[in-house]
Each structure stands twice: as structure tokens, then as C-alpha cells.
Amino acid sequence: MTGWLATLLIFLPVAGALVVWLVPMPRGAAGSFALLVALVEVGFWINALIRFDFERQGATPNFDQQHTWFSDLNVSYHVGFYAFSFWLAGLTVIVAAASIAYAFWAGRERPRAYFGLMLFLTGATVGVFASQDMLLFYAFFEAMLIPLYVLIGVWGGPGRMGATIKFVIYTMAGSLLMLAAVIAYGLSQDTFDLIDASQSSSGWIFLGFAVAFAVKAPIFPLHGWLPDAYRESPPEVAAMLSGVVSKAAVYGFFRICLAKFPEPFDDYRTLILTLASVGLVYGSVLAFRAQDLRGVIAYSSLAQMALITIGLFAENLAGLSGAVLQAVNHGLVSATLFLLAGAIERRAATGDLDRLGGLARGRPALATVLIATGVIALAVPGSSAFAGEFLILAGIFPWGWGWAVVGALAIVLAAMYMLRVISAVLHDRRATTADESVLDLRPAELAIVVPLLALLLALSAWPAAISDHMVENSGDIPALVELNE
């Protein structure tokens, strides 16, 4: 059964989606069925975690499964998890369960279509993290994007049209480049299998992949789709988008750019580190002046993804472990913040920071949860986010102190924008949107966000759970360097 776990994790939600779409069921049942599937999925992931062999040496992933698809091109259905991708898959199923639960609680129009899409998105994203064949990877990558177009375009806010079109154009352009790169690479290697394909030194193919992932992450200046998409989506879709889908870029950089293109990876390091550093400061500065709740979270995501990219391009144990740890942290933090933003917007009918304020008085649960998530987001020492950022910056330090100085500066900026948003929502004078009728977080909302927060706190107590459980079984990444000289 172990061999089937990866496949099961991919196709259980997809099957759930088909059931929701095809089997007639009452409106209310779609949500509860989807939630059930999402929770079962989490259960399977935990089961897989127990069976996972983190010490496995060599190139074979866990739960490896391969079936030939087009034999003449050496394309196969090949899935499996390395340790780092397994953590990203875990992030996916957990955030998906929380998002689906939130949507179920908040209620969405046309629930069967909606919940089907959410489940499909979950399965496709897990597929991205599990693929060991490039065409399969591409297929899942596209399958992940299509539900998002519809979710934003149909269930989004008033500006959803513009947001969707920008998102489509950006990601389509990225996907095209990636497809071209996949085909060029696959044909030149005579196989599309990611494990069999040998390393390449082609800068052009590397760039095709890198740009596609840079759009997905996004990395400055390719983030034009980000502010609108994060603002106009339903909050739980924004949670999936920033928390989980953006991590496909982390996976891609790690699994393809780093593992398969070590030479170009080295050649373009300075360029990408420069863009990421600029994006880190730029995103933080814009988050500091953003006028609405979601704007702050959106631009802080831009900054965080830049930081994760810096860790990946440090290409040493600390940088890579830190990047994966931080990817999981950021996924959980960003999802929690978007769901909380949704909860606040439902109550105040606005996300405008000037019109919010004073929500802390009489609403201890909201205040506690928001402050706790906020201080983890700003990487207060002792939090899991601090652990991740510390490893990333310690990893980049040997490449040049300047990168680490910029990173440290960005941490101060993060304190500035997160404290600003906490105060603007919870503190200061009481805004008109915070009158007596505005309720504290309801038990259902707490049941959704508190588990996410609890995971963050657990990771804060033991960040080595991830950072120390990903290096051995990480595929054919080049020999990694230790930190000290």
C-alpha cells in the first residue's frame, strides 16, 4: 500500500471533486462532503508521514511509483515524494482543509462547482509536488492554475475580472516558457523523467524554468498579478494562492533549477539574488504603506517569497533547510492571515486600514489569534519563522555579507508593517466599524484558524522537525556545502 500513497494523495481530492461535480447532492451537502474529503486527505498525509523514511539515501523518492505513458518519448506517470516536497504537500493538504472549512462556514454561491474546484486545486497542487516526470509536472502545474482562474473570476470581489485576466496572462506566459523548457530539456535528454535526466548546462532552458517559477513565486518585478489577485479572491482562495500555490515555485527551483542546472544556477545566482533582495525590501516597504489589510499580506508575501528564494540560491545546507522551513511557515502564516482578514472583512465590511481600529476591546479571541499570528509573521526570535529566516540568512552570509545585511534590514521592516497592521485593526481609537454588534471570532472560526496557529507554535518549539528532516532524502541535489570555512 505504501507505493500507492503518493497517487492516493493526488487523486483522492480529484475523485472528491468529480463526485461533487457529477453526483447530484443538495446544496449544503457539497461543502460538508468536500470538508470530509479534505480531512481524510490530511489523515492520509499523516499516515504517510509516519511511514516516511527521512533517512533514505540515494535518488529514489519515498512512495515511488512509475508507469510508462508514452514509451517512445520516455514519458511516464512517475510520482513520489522527497522529504522537502513531502513537507510542501503536507502544507497543501492542511491549508486546503482549513480553506475548504472556511468556505463551508462562510457559505459560497454555487457550492457544488465551488467545492469541486477547491478539491481539484488541492489534488493538482499535491500532484505538482509529487511529480517525478516533467510532462506530468507540467500537466499538474496547469491543472493547478485552471481552477484558480475560475475561482477568482467567478467568486472574486468587484474587480475580479481585471484580476483574473492579469493572473491568466502572467501565469500563461510563465507556463508557456516552462513548457518550451520542458520540451527542449526532455528532448535533449531523451527522457522526461526527472530522476533519469542528467544535469544540463544550458542557460536558455534554465531561464525558461526560472522565469516560469519567478512568475509563480512571484519575484520582483514579475509580480504584476499579485496585488489584484490577492485582493479580489475570496479569502480562502487567497490563502491557497499565497500559502500553497506559490510554493510550487520553491519546489521548481529546488527540484529542477538547482538539481538539474547547477552551472546556470551558479551563473545566474547574482542576478537572482539581486532581484530577490530588491523584491524583499520593495515588498516590505510597500507592505508598510499598503492601505488595506490584504494589501499588507500580499506585499509581505512578495517579500517572504523573495527571502525563500535567497535561501534556495544560497545552495548550502542552512540555506536550503531554511528555505523549506520558511516555505512551510509562510504558507501557514499567510493562510491564517488571509482567513483572519476574511473574518475581519465580514465583520467590518471593509479591509481599509483607515476605517478599522479598536477591535481588540471585548474581542479577546480575535486579538489573541491575530497578535500571535502577526508576531510569528514578523519573525520574533523564538518563532518558527525566525528559525527559518535565521537559517536562510546564515546560509547566504558566506556568499556576501551584503545579502545578509539586506535580509536583516527586511526583518526590521517586517516588524514595522506587521505591528502597523496589528495596531490598525485592533488598537488605537475605536473605529465606527468596530461597534458593539461586531462579534468576537466564533467557535467555528476558531476551530479553523487555531489548528493552523497551533501548528506554527509546535514548529516554533521544534523547527528542526523540518529543517533537520529534509537533507538526507532530497534527491540528486549537488553536493551541499557545510557552513563554516
Query: Using the rule CB under 8 A, which residue among 398, 433, 476, 478 binds other proteins?
Result: 398
Cβ 236 to other proteins shortest distance, Å: 19
Query: Using the rule CB under 8 A, which residue among 330, 463, 474, 477 binds other proteins?
Result: 463
Q: Does 440 participate in binding other proteins (rule CB under 8 A)?
A: no
Query: Using the rule CB under 8 A, which residue among 360, 366, 453, 455 binds other proteins?
Result: 360
Is the CB of 23 or the CB of 412 nearer to other proteins?
412
Residues between 369 and 388 with contacts to other proteins, criterion CB under 8 A: 371, 375, 380-382, 386-387
Which residues on neighbouring strands pair with residue 76, listed in sequence order? Answer: 68
Residues between 300 and 319 with contacts to other proteins, criterion CB under 8 A: 317-318
Query: Using the rule CB under 8 A, which residue among 42, 49, 139, 172 binds other proteins?
Result: 172
Q: Does 408 participate in binding other proteins (rule CB under 8 A)?
A: yes
Is the CB of 104 or the CB of 386 nearer to other proteins?
386
Grid cell at residue 321: 533547510
Contact 127, 80 (CB under 8 A): no
Query: Using the rule CB under 8 A, which residue among 28, 43, 364, 443 binds other proteins?
Result: 364
Residues between 123 and 162 with contacts to other proteins, criterion CB under 8 A: 149-150, 153-154, 160-162
Residue 351 corresponds to which amino acid? Answer: G
Q: Does 462 participate in binding other proteins (rule CB under 8 A)?
A: yes
Residue closest to 6 by CA, chosen among 36, 32, 41, 58: 41
Q: How far is CA 182 from the centre of its chain?
A: 22
Contact 457, 464 (CB under 8 A): no
* DSSP state for residue 55 in the 8-state scheme: T
Residue closest to 328 by CA, chosen among 243, 421, 406: 243
Is the CB of 16 or the CB of 388 nearer to other proteins?
388
Q: Does 429 participate in binding other proteins (rule CB under 8 A)?
A: yes
Cβ 220 to other proteins shortest distance, Å: 8
Query: Using the rule CB under 8 A, which residue among 29, 113, 211, 416 binds other proteins?
Result: 416
Residue owning grid cell 512517475: 78
Cβ 131 to other proteins shortest distance, Å: 20
Grid cell at residue 89: 504537500
Instruction: Find the helix or strand (DSSP H, E) in which 63 lies.
Output: strand 62-70
Q: Candidates 31-39, 123-131, 347-355, 389-397 — which segment interacts with other proteins by CB under 8 A?
A: 389-397
Is the CB of 44 or the CB of 288 nearer to other proteins?
288
Q: Is 483 helix (H, G, I), strand (E, B) or coil?
A: coil
Q: Does 4 participate in binding other proteins (rule CB under 8 A)?
A: no
Which residues on neighbouring strands pair with residue 66, listed in sequence order? Answer: 78
Distance CA 270, CA 277 (A): 10
Contact 163, 228 (CB under 8 A): yes
Residues between 232 and 261 with contacts to other proteins, criterion CB under 8 A: none
Residue owning grid cell 501557514: 332
Grid cell at residue 362: 471585548
Residue closest to 349 by CA, chosen among 233, 438, 441: 438
Cβ 304 to other proteins shortest distance, Å: 17
Cβ 434 to other proteins shortest distance, Å: 11
Q: Which residues contact 405 (CB under 8 A, 6 or more apart)?
A: none
Residues between 183 and 222 with contacts to other proteins, criterion CB under 8 A: 183-184, 187-188, 221
Residue closest to 330 by CA, chosen among 392, 286, 372, 379: 379
Residues between 46 and 75 with contacts to other proteins, criterion CB under 8 A: none
Is the CB of 243 or the CB of 357 nearer to other proteins?
357
Query: Using the rule CB under 8 A, which residue among 430, 439, 446, 476 binds other proteins?
Result: 430
Is the CB of 32 or the CB of 368 nearer to other proteins?
368
Cβ 211 to other proteins shortest distance, Å: 14
* 379 φ, ψ (degrees, to nearest 5): 60, 50
* 66 φ, ψ (degrees, to nearest 5): -140, 130
Is the CB of 259 or the CB of 318 nearer to other proteins?
318
Cβ 44 to other proteins shortest distance, Å: 28
Distance CA 72, CA 187 (A): 11
Is the CB of 13 or the CB of 264 nearer to other proteins?
264
Render 77-101 in DSSP notation, one character per residue: EEEEE-HHHHHHHHHHHHHHHHHHH
Cβ 309 to other proteins shortest distance, Å: 17
Query: Using the rule CB under 8 A, which residue among 14, 261, 397, 448 binds other proteins?
Result: 397
Q: Kindly write out the interface string for residues 262-301 of this chain, putting x where it contacts other proteins by CB under 8 A and - elsewhere.
A: --------------------x--xx-xx------------
* 50 φ, ψ (degrees, to nearest 5): -65, -35
In terms of phi and psi (left: phi > 0; alpha: psi -120 to 50; beta: otherwise), the region of 63 is left
